[in-house]
Structure 1
Amino acid sequence: MRLLLTSAGVGNDSIRAALAELLGKPIEASNALIIPTALYPFPGGAGMARRAIAGEGPGRLADLGWKSLGVLELSVLPSIDEEAWVPAVRDADALLVCGGDPLFLADWMRRSGLAELLPTLRSEAVYVGVSAGSIATASTFVETYTEPPRGSSVPLEEVVFEGDVSRLLVTGQGVGLVDFAVIPHFEHPQHLDASPANAETWAARIPVPTYAIDDASAIKVVDGVVEVVSEGQWRLF
C-alpha cells in the first residue's frame, strides 16, 4: 500500500500530481472509498461528514473526479459480515480518510478490523489521509486538545505554548503504517499550536521523527521511502 498524507486534502496541482502518480492512472479512472469516521466526535459532526462525502468540506477529497466513490463507515463494520465490506476495500484504488479526532479514528480503525487489513492490500492501493487521517497512521502520536478527550484514559500533559496557547498534549496509539509522525496545519493562522515554535514543543513529545506540514504540503510514502511534496512550508523535527 502507498500513502499520501496531507494536512488539508488534495488542494494544489503538486499534491494532485502526486496522487495520480501513486495511483498509476488518472484519478478519473480510479475508484475510491471515503472514510468520514473521525468527524463524528465533534458538534455538528454528522453535517461535516455529509459535506465531506458531498465534496463540500474544506479538505479536498471527494470532489476530485473519481470514477466511483463509496462510503466506508468504520463504526458499523463490527456489526456486519466481513464479506459485505472487505472486498470493496480490496478493490478500491484509494481510501480517503477524513480529518477529525485521531484518537477516535485510530480506535475505530482497530475495532473495525481495517487496521489489520490495510497492510494486506495490493501495493497499488493508496491511503490518502487528511489531518487526523494522517496523524493516525503513526505507531505513536501526540495530538493537542483543549479538553480531555471524552472517555479517554491515554496519557496527557498540559502545556502552555508560545503566545499563551494552552493545550493538552494527548499521547495516542496509531495503527503503525509509517515510522514517523505528522503535525498538520503547520503555520496556519487558526491553528496557533502548530506555529513553528509550538510545533517544535509538540514534536519534542513525540518519540519518532515528526513532519510538520502546512495545508499546501503532503508526504508521499512508497515502499518505505518518504518524500515531501510541497507548494508551501514544512519542517522535519
Structure 2
Amino acid sequence: MKLLLTSAGVGNPTIRAALVDLLGKPIEECSALCIPTAAYGHGSSEGAWRFISGRSPLHMVDQGWKSLGVLELTALPSIERELWVPVLEQADVLLAGGGDSLYLAHWMRESGFVDLLPTLSNTVWVGLSAGSMALTPRIGEYFVEWQPPGGGNEALGVVDFSIFPHLDHPNLPQNTLAHAERWAATLPNAAYAIDDDTAIVVAAGAVRVVSEGSWTHFPLPVASG
C-alpha cells in the first residue's frame, strides 16, 4: 500500500501533485472509498457526515474522483466478507477521515480490514489527521482520548514513525513546536510534527515529506548507556 499521510487533507497543489504521483493516473480516473469511522470515536456523527458529503473545509472527497463510496468499518463484522472485500480491492484510493486515531485503529483490527493491507499493494491510503495517526506505532499519551479495550496508546505500526498533526494551527494553541518536542521525547520511535500544508509520502519503502508549510522531524531517540 502507498500512503499519503496528511494533517488536513489535500489542501494545496504540492500535496495534490504527490497524490496524483502515487495514483499513477489522473484523479478523474480513480475510484475512492471514504472511511469516516474515526469521527465516531469523538462522538461526531455530524463530522462523519461533513466528511462523506464534502462539506468539510478539509479537502478529501472534493478532488474530482471518478466515483465515491463509503466503507464504514464498524459495520463490516456484521457483513459477509464477499460483500465488501471485492469493493475494497477495486478501489484506487482509500480516504480516511479525522477523529480519534485509536478508535480507528481498533476498528481496523476488529473488522479484519488491517489483515488485508498487505494485499493492497497498488492502493493509495490518504489519511487526514487521525486517519494518518492510526497507521503509526503509537500516538503518545498527549493524544489519547478514546480508550481502547487494552489501554495504552499503541496504533497499527504500518509505518515506524509517529505523527503530531496540525502544528501551529490557529485554533489549537497547544499545538506548538514546543509541545511537539515534549511529545516526541516520550516516544521510543522517530516522529514528525506537520502542519496543515504538509504531508508524508510512503511508497516503495521510502519516506519523504512534501510541504508548502512547516514541519519538523524528530529522529529515533539514541539509547543511553
Which TM-score tier does this pair reach, normalised by the shorter chain? over 0.9
Which runs of structure 1 show a deviation greater than 6 angstroms over 4 or more consecutive aligned residues? none
Is 1:176 aligned to residue 173 of structure 2?
no
- How many residue pairs match? The answer is 218
CA displacement at 1:194 relative to structure 2: 2.1
Name the residue aligned to 1:211: 192
- Separation of aligned partners in 2, 1:188 and 1:234: 12
Q: Within 5 Å, which residues of 2 pair with 1:124-143?
A: 124-142=122-140
Using structure 1 for the length normalisation, give the TM-score.
0.88
8 Å contact from structure 1 (residues 6, 131) kept in 2:
yes
What is the rounded CA distance, in whole Å, between the counterparts of 2:97 and 2:141 in structure 1?
Answer: 16
Q: TM-score, normalised by structure 2?
A: 0.92
Kept in 1: contact 2:102–2:147 (CA 8 A): no
Tell me, yes or no, if the aligned pair for 1:24 and 1:124 is still in contact at 8 Å.
Answer: no
Letter of the 1:14 partner, please give it: T
CA contact (8 A) 2:103 2:146 kept: no
The amino acid across from 2:139 in the alignment is F
Structure 2 Cα separation of the partners of residues 91 and 5 of structure 1: 21
Distance 1:206 1:112 in 2: 28
In structure 2, C-alpha distance between the alignment counterparts of 1:196 and 1:71, rounded to whole Å: 35
- Separation of aligned partners in 2, 1:63 and 1:26: 14
- What is the identity percentage for the equivalent residue pairs of Structure 1 and Structure 2? 53
Counterpart secondary structure, 1:96: strand
Map residues 125-204 of structure 1 onto 2, 5 A cutoff.
Answer: 125-142=123-140, 144-145=142-143, 149=146, 154-155=151-152, 172-204=153-185
Map residues 29-48 of structure 1 onto 2, 5 A cutoff: 29-43=29-43, 45-48=44-47
SS in structure 2 opposite 1:34?
A: strand
Q: Secondary structure at the match of 1:75?
A: helix
Task: Return the offset for 1:144.
Answer: 2.9
8 Å CA contact 1:8, 1:58 repeated in 2: no
Q: Which moved more, 1:211-220 or 1:173-182?
A: 173-182
Cα deviation for residue 3 of structure 1 reads 0.2
Measure how far apart 1:193 and its partner are: 3.0
SS at match of 1:177: coil
The residue that corresponds to 2:22 in the other structure is 22
Partner AA of 1:6 in structure 2: T
Matched-pair contact (CA < 8 Å) for 1:4–1:220: yes
Stretch deviating more after TM superposition (22-31 or 199-208): 199-208
Whether the aligned pair in 1 keeps the contact of 2:41 and 2:146 (CA below 8 Å) is no
> Counterparts of 2:25 and 2:130 in 1: how far apart (Å)?
26
After superposition, give the CA deviation of every residue in 1:76-123 in whole Å (9 maximum; x if it has no partner). 0011111010111111100000010011110001001111111111x3
Aligned residue number for residue 94 of structure 1: 93
CA distance in 2, matches of 1:54, 1:188: 24
| Counterpart code for 1:142 | G
8 Å Cα contact 1:193/1:199 also seen in 2: no
Q: Which runs of 5+ in 2 are unaligned?
A: 219-225
Relative to 1, partners in 2 of residues 1:16 and 1:104: Cα closer, same or farther, differing over 3 Å?
A: same
Structure 1: 5+ residue stretches without partners? 156-171
